[in-house]
Structure formats: structure tokens, C-alpha cells
A and B are shown apart, each in its own frame.
Chain A
Amino acid sequence: MEIKLVKDILEANEVIAAQNRAFFTEQGVYVVNLMGSPGVGKTTLLERTAEGLRGSRRMAVIEGDIATSRDAERIAAHAIPAVQINTGGACHLDGNMVRGGLGQLDFGGIELLVVENVGNLVCPAEFNIGEDAKVMISSVAEGDDKPLKYPLMFQVSSVLLLNKVDLLPHVAFDLERFRADALKVNPRLEIMPISCSTGEGLDRWLRWLEERISAQGA
């Protein structure tokens, strides 16, 4: 006997993501899902962001990591509340894992929550966690072919941070080709070249966050 269904396979995750979303809205916190490959500079970006927002906005971080707590320790050193979620081998965070981390954070006064996803350009793109925006970080050291190789992640992101632009003189990276391909995959993508080493471009990123945090709290 055939049973007809039309169901999103990830529906259960969508339900939990929507519940997380409702919780974040109630708390008045703006939530960024930060995605990118291992070594691209996700945790360093969070350290720079913490420095940039110090004294003006209160931020918390959820760190997704396969097995260690190294990243959360780096963030906590900046006096930022940080929770580590170990995915136990899974290659991405999902709504349920993030929900598990929420109870460990005191949201009193927190205006921005950044969830650092597991370093991976494929899987995290498929799982919503209840975020306001997906932000992808890529780097000139990884090569300019990434928009075509990992289109889904470029497609679901609102912002693309292109890190390590201080290395441009030393690597074969065609910035214009990268930009053109990324915009073909996602014409609405906001592309920001940055360097977490020199600080170049970070003012624009901080302004982008500031605008969203103000709007969320209004």
C-alpha cells in the first residue's frame, strides 16, 4: 500500500529552529549564524568583533566544535559569555544542538549572539538554527573558486566576509572573479573584504552589526 506524503525531511529541525527564533525575539537578541571552513578565521573574527563592540554592545557566543573547547576558551578570554557545544562528530549545528546551548547562557542584557558553526562549507548551509542572518566567512588563502564549488552556502548567506585580504599580494586570488561569481550565485549578497590581522574592513562589519542590533532592540 502506498502512502502519499509531501513533507520536508528536515521539518523537525525547522520546527525547533522556529522555537529558537521565537525565544531570541522575546529576548531582543540579534542572532548571527557564522559559517566557514576550518582555519578561515571564524574565532579570530569573533575576537575582533568582541573588541570592536566592547563598551557599546553586549555579545555572547555559542561555539560549535566537533570535540574540543579551545574556541570557547579563546572567546571567554575576552570577557564574553561563551558556551561550547560539542557536536560529537556531527559536521554541523542544528536547531536542537543550539537549543541545548541556550540554557547555559544568561541572556540578561545580551544584544548579539553569534553562533560559530562547525568548520565546513557544505552541511551547515542546510540546517537553520533560528538565526536572524547567516554570515559566511571565506578567505583569499582558500582560492577564488569557492562560490562555484559550494554554491548553497553562498546562496543562503546575507553577508560574505572575505578575510585575509592583507595576503592578496602573496596569493593567486582573482578578487573580481570571486566577487562576480559570488554575486551570480546570490545577487543580494553583501560582500565585505576584511583582514582580521590588520583590521582592514572591520569597521564596515561592525557598522552592519550595529544597524541590525539597533533595529532588533527597537
Chain B
Amino acid sequence: MIRGGSRYNYKVHEFAVAQSLLEIVEQEALPYSGARVTGITLRIGQLSAVVPDALRFAFEAITRGGIAEGASLEIEEVPLRIRCHQCEEVFTVDDPFMVCPRCEGSDVEMVSGRELEIRSMEIEDGDKAR
């Protein structure tokens, strides 16, 4: 049996990520007095250790009663892409391997897949402070 409600849930690090996200959102909304944050778009890389559903759950829990209560989280999941320096080409890969799918060499670099980014937020009813 799981006991302790929210305290138990804080053991997933998505809460830490959600908390950082909320701090950014509150900071950005600061110049708009009385604003409500209604939507947020994020990009999360496939290789990042963040599970989108867990992040949604955490964000919903910590935003209750605040300016971002009820804000929708639109999450774009970014595939893992690697550039092979030998083939001079970028590949989208399913497995988390730093190996070129064509030449099987390991002279590769990651192009995307580790993102934990906020891209935009939607606010309503705010007056830009002069």
C-alpha cells in the first residue's frame, strides 16, 4: 500500500523538473500583472530521463492554486538523432546507440535527444506592466 500521498510522489525527479519549469513560468509571467498561464509547450528528448506523463502529473499537482493552475502542457518528444562524421549525414535512430547505422563507425555526435526545453507559454488576462 502506498501511503503518504504527495510526499511519496516527490520521490520521482519529474517533480524537480516540474518545479524548475514552474519557476521559469512564474518568472516569465512576472511582467504581466494578473496574468494566468493557460498553456506551455515543451520539447523533451527521447534520451532524457523524463517521462512525459509523470511530468504532467507532477506539474498539475504543484500548480494548484497558482497562476499556472490548469495550464495545458503540450509536449513534443524529440527523437534521438546522431551525425556521423564519416558519412557526413544525420540519422534518426531508435536505439540509444552512438553508432552510425550506415558505416557502423562511432565517430558520431548527438544532434538531438537530450532536450528538456520550454519553448513557449500562453498567457491570458495580463496587463503588461509599464
In the bound complex, do residue B118 and residue A7 qualify as a contact, i.e. CB atoms below 8 Å apart? yes
In the bound complex, do residue B118 and residue A9 qualify as a contact, i.e. CB atoms below 8 Å apart? yes
Q: Which residues of A contact B42 (CB under 8 A)?
A: 9
Taken together as a complex, chains A and B put the C-alpha atoms of A91 and B58 apart, in Å, by 14
Size of the chain B interface, CB-CB below 8 angstroms: 36
Knowing A7-B24, A125-B49, A126-B49 are in contact, say whether A148-B17 is a contact too (CB < 8 A).
no
A213 contacts chain B at the CB level, 8 A cutoff: no
B13, B95, B124: the one within 8 Å of A91 (CB):
B13
B10, B21, B120: the one within 8 Å of A4 (CB):
B120
Chain B contact residues: over half helix, strand or loop, or mixed? mixed
In the bound complex, do residue A90 and residue B49 qualify as a contact, i.e. CB atoms below 8 Å apart? no
A177 to chain B, nearest CB (A): 14
Q: Which residues of A contact B53 (CB under 8 A)?
A: none
A2 contacts chain B at the CB level, 8 A cutoff: yes
In the bound complex, do residue B16 and residue A90 qualify as a contact, i.e. CB atoms below 8 Å apart? yes
B128 to chain A, nearest CB (A): 9
Q: Which residues of A contact B111 (CB under 8 A)?
A: none
How many interface contacts (CB-CB < 8 Å) are there between A and B?
A: 101
Knowing A151-B47, A155-B96 are in contact, say whether A3-B120 is a contact too (CB < 8 A).
yes
Q: Which residues of B contact A11 (CB under 8 A)?
A: 20, 24
In the bound complex, do residue B126 and residue A1 qualify as a contact, i.e. CB atoms below 8 Å apart? yes
In the bound complex, do residue B50 and residue A126 qualify as a contact, i.e. CB atoms below 8 Å apart? yes
A184 contacts chain B at the CB level, 8 A cutoff: yes
A10 contacts chain B at the CB level, 8 A cutoff: yes
In the bound complex, do residue B48 and residue A7 qualify as a contact, i.e. CB atoms below 8 Å apart? no
Interface string of B17-30 (1 = CB under 8 A from A): 10011011000100
A53 contacts chain B at the CB level, 8 A cutoff: no
B11, B96, B119: the one within 8 Å of A89 (CB):
B11
Instruction: Give B contacts to A, CB under 8 Å.
Output: 7-8, 10-13, 16-17, 20-21, 23-24, 28, 42, 47-50, 95-99, 106, 108, 114, 116-124, 126
Instruction: Give A contacts to B, CB under 8 Å.
Output: 1-13, 66, 89-92, 94, 122-123, 125-127, 148, 151-152, 155, 183-187
